Amino acid sequence: MKKTLALLLACAVSSACAAFQVSSQGKSVSEIIVPEEPSEELLFAARELQKWIGRISGAEPAVFHAPTKQNNHKIFLGKEFYAPEDDFRFIGESDGWVVRRNGKKLFLSGPKDGGVINAVFLLFDRNTDLIFPRPVMDGEALFTPDPDLTFRETDFRGRPSWNYREFGLVHAHFDPPTSLWARRNYSNSRGMFYHKYHIRSTLDLFFSGVLTYELGRFLPNEKYFAEHPGYYAWQEGKRKKYEHYGPQLCYTDREGREALVREMLAALERDLTPEIRKIHFGFGDTWSLCNCPECRKPIPLADGSQLTPDDDAFRSTQYFLYLNAVVEAMLKKYPHLEAETLGYLYAAVPPRVKPHPKLTVIYCPYPKNDKIPIDGKGNEKWNVRSRDWAKSGARVGIYEYWGDASDFPRPVADAAAENLRIWNKLGIHHFLSTETYPDVRRTPPEQDKLAGAWDVSAMEYWVLSRLMLDSSRNPSELRNEYLKRVYGPAASPMREYYEAIHKAWHADRRISMYNDNAVECAELYIRRPGMEKTLREKLAAAEKLAGRDTVKQLVRNHRERFEFLMRSAARSKPAIFEIPLAADAGKTAMDFDAPVWNSASRIENFKITGTRGKNAAVQTSVFFLHDRRNLYVRFRCAEPDMKHLDLQKAPYPGRLPPGDRVELFLKTADAKTYHHFAGSPSGAKYEAEGYNHRWTVAWDYATRRNKDSWEAVMRIPLDKLGLRITVNNKCRILPVRHRVDGQNAETSSHAGAGPHMPAAFPEMLLKE
Amino acid sequence: MKKIFFLAFLLPGTLLNAADFNAEVLPAAKYRVVLTAPAPPEWQIRFTDADGNIPLGGILNSRGERYRGTEKNTYVREFYTPHFAKKATLRTKDKVENVRFEAVGDSKYLNLNPEFRLGSDNYSGYARTTQSVIRKGADGNYLEVSDSRYGMTLTDPVPVTPGRTYRVSLRREGPGVPKKNIGVYIRFLDKTGNVLDNQRNYWKQSFTFYSNWKNDFPASKQFTAPPSAAFLECLLLDGKFAAFYLTEEKKRGEAR
Ligand SMILES: [Zn+2]
C-alpha cells in the first residue's frame, strides 16, 4: 500500500509517468494498430516499428487492424486515428510527422503516410541508441538491448527541411539494401530505374514513384519526320531528325507541340499506375537546338519587353514556355501529378518566364569545390545561379554529388550543411538528391570503390541523411553522435582518426570535387602530412576497443580499405605534373629570356608516339607556367640540322603546318572535346577544336632560332577554353613535337602519348 | 425503406438482416465467397484470431468490379485465410443477397484461379495488377500482362512450408512467337509479409518461358522454400497466360 502511494507521488512530481512502456522484462506490454486498408508506407512503418522494438526489447508487439481489449499500451499509426488540424497545417504538403501521447495511447501520424515512417525512426532516434551504420552489415542495426524498453519523448512534431530527399544510386541503379538503408534514414525518393522488376520490387512501394520520359522520344523520327519535318530542329538549311546527343525538337512549332502532347497523354494512359506521383521530362544531352526563324525570334515577355536571342536566358525561356504548355496539358487530364525537369545546359539559366507551379526544376550546381560552401571563394557562380533560380518562382530541386569520390573519407558534410541552409534561406526546399554509391562489394580491391566508400564514409552518408531532414543540424555534433552510437568504447580513436583527416583536408587549399581520386587523396591528405602511421594506429586501437563483433567487423573493413589506399598511394608515384603559378607572368613570359621562366616546371625526354617508350631522335624540353587566366608553354627543340627548316613550305593559312612544328593538346575536365594548338618555327599558327580547324580563339605565339635549336612560346587563354581554375584546377595537357627530316617524319610527345587521344593526355595540376 | 443487408453462410437462399456474419474457418486454407448484388458491391472479410482480434493481414477488401462471376449479378472471390484465422466476418454497406461462403475443394494447384475460370472480369488470386487484364480467349480466359514499362501482375501469396519444394509452370495463350519472353519472378515472404533475402539477385529466382516455345510446352522450374518462408508470391511479366500453376513436389514415398 505504502509502495503504491510512493509511486503515485513520484508520478505526480516527475516526468516518469509520462514514459510510454512498450515492453517489460522482455515481454511485450504494447500493440501496434494500423487502419483497415493500410498503405504500403503504413505497412512498412508498422513492420519496422514491430521489428526494432522486438530486437531491442526481445519481444515483438503484435500488429492489429483494430485495438484489442487488452489493457496495454497502444501505438496507433496513421491519420485515420489522429489528424490534429493545427499540426497538419504546420506540416503542410511535406511528409512531416506528429507524435502525441494520450495516456496509454501513442499516436504516430502525418498528412502523408510517409511521415509516419519518419515518426517511427524519429521515435527510435530520440528514445534509443538504435542506428543503421551502413546498408550491408550483419544484423542491419546496432542498439543497446533493453528488456524494459520505454519511450520517454513522445510528444513532438516536425517537418523536413526538404520535401523530397534522395540518395540517388550511381554505378548500380538498383540495390535494395542501400535503398532500405536510405528509407530507414529518412529518405523518401528513390531516383530512376531501368528494369521493370525494380519498379515492383517491394522497396519501391514506399518510395514516391517517378516516371521518366525524354521529350524528343515522344515524336519518333520514323513516325513523324517524313510528313512533319517542322516538328524537328532546323539547322544548316534543313530539318534534322531527333537525336539524344544531337538535334532537339523545334520548341516553337505549335503543331509539333500538340502532337507531342497527344503522344505524352497516350504514354501516360499506358504507363501510369497509382503509385506514380511525378513525371520527369528529360531532354537531350546537347546544345543542338532549333534555329528556325520562329526559334530565333525575340520572345515577348509579360512586362512588355522583348527577350532577344543573344540573351543568356533566351533558350531557357523558350524551353520553359514549351514545357509549361506540356505540363499544363498533362495536369488537365491528371491533376494529381507533378512534373519535373533538369536545370541543366541551356535550361540551367533561370528563364524569364515563370516555370509552371507544379514543375520542379532540378538544378545541378556542379562542378564546384566541396571543401567550401557555394558562397565561398571560387564557388560564387553557383551561389549567383542559386539566387536567380530562387527568384525565378520555380519550385527548385537540387542535384548534388556528395557521395561521389566517397571511397576516400571526404568530410563533405560541413560545406553541404552550409549550402543546404543557404538554399533553404532562399526558399529552395522542394527536392534534394545526392549521388550515392550503393554498398555493393566487388573484387579485387581496385574495383571495390562502392562498398569501399561505405567502409570509410558511412558516417558521412549518415550525417547527410540527418542534414537533408533537418538542415539546421551541426555536422560535427552529428558525427559525434554516429561515432558514439556505432563504435561505443572505440569511439575515441575513431573520432581522432576522422578529425585528423578532416583537419588535413581543410588545411590543404587544393579544391576537392566529385571526381577526386581516392588514392590521390590518400597521398595528399594522409601520406604527405605524415599521418599514415598515426592513423593506422588509431584504427588498430579502435578494433581492439570495439566490443561487439559487428563493430569489430566495421573497423576491420575500414582498416582494409585504409591499407589498400596506403598501398596504392605508395606505389603510384604522384603522377600528377604540377604547373606553378606565376601571377605576373603576363608581363614578361612571351620573352624567352625573362627570369619568370626560371620558376617553370619542365618536361624532357620526349618519346616517339605509339612506340611504348622509344626515345625521340633529338631532344625537346618543355616549360610550363600559368597566371590563372593563361597557360604559358615554352618549347626548346634541339635541332642538329637548322638549315632544313628553311626548306619547308609555308603552311596554308588556317591549316596545320605540314613541316616541323610544336603542338599542344589540351582538354579541360568537363569539356566534351579538346583543343589543339600548333606553331611552326617560322611563326605560323594553327588552332582547332578536335579536328575542327574552323574553330578559333585569340592566342599568342612567338618563336626564335638559336644555333642548334629553335624555341617557341605559347600563351593559351584558359578562361576562353572554359577552364575555371577556381572550380577545377586539373586539366589534361599533352605537348607534342613533329620533326621532318628529309623523307622521315617523327612525332614525339611527353611519355609518348598519342595526339588526338584526349583520354591519354596526361593530367596536370595548375598550382595555386 | 431502411437499407437491409442480406447475408448468408453456406446456405444459399437464407436471408439474414445483419451487417456482419461470423463463421468458423480453418487457417491458411482456400475459401471462396459468392454473392449476388444488383450493382457491384464493396465488401470486407475480416478474419479474427482465437482471441477475437484482427491481426495485420486480417482484412480482405474487395471491389465488386474486380470479382464478377460468370453469371449475371454474381460476384465471387477466392482467397487463402490467414494463418491466424479462426473466424471470418463478412461486412458490407451495399445491398447483397445469396451470400455463400465455402471452402474450396481439393486441387493439385496451390495457387488460386490458375486457369482464370472464375470469369473474364475476375481477378481472384491476382489482386495486384498493373496494366494487366483477363480476357476471353478461344479456349477459356487468359491473363494478358502488357509488356509496357509498368505492366505486371503479382499473384496473391500462397502459404508454403520451409524446406519444401514448389514447382512453377504455365501455359501460354495463343499461337505464334511473341515479341518477348514471359518472365516469372519468385519471392518468398516471411509471416509478416516481408520479402526474404535482399532482392539483389532477384533475377536468379526466376523462370523464363521463352517466346519460341510452343504454347503448350511443358516447361517448369522448381524452387525450395528457405527457412522462415511463410508465403510464396510470383511476379508475372510480359505475355499472355492461359494458365499459371503452382504445385508442391511430393517427397519420395508421399502419395501423389
Ligand atoms: Zn524552331
**Does B15 have pLDDT greater than 50?**
no
* Residue B1 pLDDT exceeds 50: no
- Going by C-alpha positions, the residue among A28, A76, A80, A72 that lies closest to residue A54 is A28
Interchain CB distance below 8 Å, A201 and B149:
no
In a domain, B56, yes or no: yes
Task: Kindly report whether the global pTM for this prediction surpasses the value 0.90.
Answer: no
What integer pLDDT is reported at residue B10 of this predicted model? 40
Cα A393 to ligand 1 centroid, rounded to whole Å: 26
The domain that holds B56 is classified in CATH as 2.60.120
Helices and strands of chain A, counted as H and E runs: 19, 34
Same-domain status, B68 and B178: no
Residue A209 lies in a domain: no
For residue A13, pLDDT beyond 80? no
pLDDT recorded at residue A52: 98
Residue B167 or B138, more confident: B167
In this prediction the ipTM stands at: 0.90
Which chain B residues are Cβ-neighbours of A272 within 8 angstroms? 150
Cβ-contact A212, A282 below 8 angstroms: yes
Q: In terms of domains, do B85 and B137 share one?
A: no
Are B20 and B86 found together in one domain?
yes
Using a CB-CB cut-off of 8 Å, the residues of chain A touching B51 are 68
For residue A34, give the CATH number of its domain.
3.30.379.10
Of the residues A158, A184, A207, the one at which a domain ends? A158
Side chain identity at A598, as an amino acid letter? N
Chain B residues whose CB is inside 8 A of the A450 CB are none
**pLDDT tens figures, A104-156:** 999 999 999 999 999 999 999 999 999 999 999 999 999 999 999 999 999 99
Choosing from A106, A140, A158, the residue where a domain stops is A158
Nearest-Cα residue of chain B relative to residue A209: B150
A205 CB contacts (<8 Å, ≥6 apart)?
A40, A44, A275
Q: Dump strand ranges (E) for A81-208.
A: 97-102, 105-109, 150-151, 156-158, 164-169
Residue ending a domain, among A158, A183, A207, is: A158
Residue A226 has pLDDT above 80, yes or no: yes
pLDDT number for residue A507? 93
Q: Is residue B113 part of a domain?
A: no
Residue B111 lies in a domain: no
Question: Who wins on pLDDT, B255 or A182?
Answer: A182
Confirm whether B234 is domain-assigned. yes
Q: What distance in Å separates the CA atoms of residue A347 and residue A397, rounded to the nearest whole number?
A: 13
In a domain, A514, yes or no: no
In this structure, of A425-434, A746-755, B241-250, the range with the lowest mean pLDDT score is A746-755
Give the side-chain half-sphere CA count within 13 A for A244.
4
Residue A433: pLDDT over 90: yes
Highest mean pLDDT among A10-14, A479-483, A698-702: A479-483
**Residue B9 pLDDT class (50, 70, 90 cuts):** very low
Chain A interface, best mutation among B93, B199, B232, by max A CB count within 10 A:
B199
Least confident of A144-158, A506-520, A699-713: A506-520
A 439-478 → B contacts, CB under 8 A: 440
pLDDT at A600: 92
Query: Does A35 touch chain B if contact means CB atoms closer than 8 Å?
Result: no
B9 vs A639, which has greater pLDDT?
A: A639
CATH number of the domain within which A612 lies: 2.60.40.1190
Instruction: Report the distance separating Cα A146 and Cα A138, nearest Å.
Output: 20
Per-residue pLDDT, A204: 60
Distances (CA, A) of A503 to A179, A379, B200: 31, 21, 38
Q: Once rounded to an integer, what is the mean pLDDT over residues A631-654? A: 88
| Judgement on whether residues B157 and B94 belong to the same structural domain of the protein | no
pLDDT (average), residues A346-371:
90
Q: Residue A735's CB: how many other CB atoms inside 10 A?
A: 26
Quote the crossing angle between the two packed helices A475-487 and A491-507, to the nearest 10°: 150
Q: Which of A28, A31, A32, A36 to mutate to test the interface with B (most CBs of B within 10 A)?
A: A36
Q: Which of B44, B198, B237 sits opposite A177 (nearest CB)?
A: B198
pLDDT digits over A589-611, tens only?
999 999 999 999 999 889 898 77
Closest partner CB to A65 (pick from B54, B149, B193) = B54
Indicate whether A31 belongs to any domain: yes
Looking at the fold, whether B178 and B220 belong to one and the same domain comes out as yes
Number of folded domains in chain A? 2
CA of A219 to the centre of ligand 1 (A): 15
Whether the pLDDT of residue B7 is over 70: the answer is no
Domain around A113: 2-158
Q: Does residue B168 sit in the same domain as residue B59? A: no
**Does the residue A273 lie in any domain?**
no
Q: How many CA atoms lie within 13 A of B50 on its CB side?
A: 3
Of the candidates A62, A201, A271, which has its C-beta nearest B199's C-beta? A201
Q: Is B55 on the interface with A (CB under 8 A)?
A: yes
Distance in Å, CA A235 to ligand 1 centroid: 9
Name the residue facing B54 among A64, A176, A272 (closest C-beta). A64
End position of a domain, from candidates B66, B86, B103: B103
Name residues with Cβ closer than 5 Å to ligand 1, which is an ion: A 250, 252, 290, 292, 295
Do B237 and B151 belong to one domain? yes
Q: What is the pLDDT of residues A253-280, one digit of tens each?
A: 999 999 999 999 999 988 887 778 889 9
For all residues of chain A together, what is the average pLDDT? 91
B15, part of any domain:
yes
The answer as to whether B193 is a domain residue is yes
Average pLDDT rounded to a whole number, residues B52-61: 96
Q: What's the A394 CA to ligand 1 centre distance in angstroms?
A: 25
Domain boundary residue among B103, B120, B146?
B103
Within 8 A by CB and 6+ apart from A262, the residues are: none
Q: In this structure, is residue A326 part of a structural domain?
A: no
- The residue that leads in pLDDT, A52 or A671, is A52
Greater confidence (A93 vs A460) lies with A460
Q: How many domains does chain B have?
A: 2
The answer to whether residue A193 neighbours chain B at the CB level (below 8 Å) is no
Highest mean pLDDT among A73-87, A618-632, A634-648: A73-87
CA of A390 to the centre of ligand 1 (A): 29
**A71 at interface of B, judged by CB pairs closer than 8 A:** no
* B222 found inside a domain: yes
Which element (helix H / strand E) includes A197? helix A196-200
Residue B13's pLDDT is 37
Of B87, B103, B119, the residue at which a domain comes to its end is B103
Q: Which domain holds residue B199?
A: 128-248
User: Domain containing B232 — which CATH number?
Assistant: 2.60.120.260
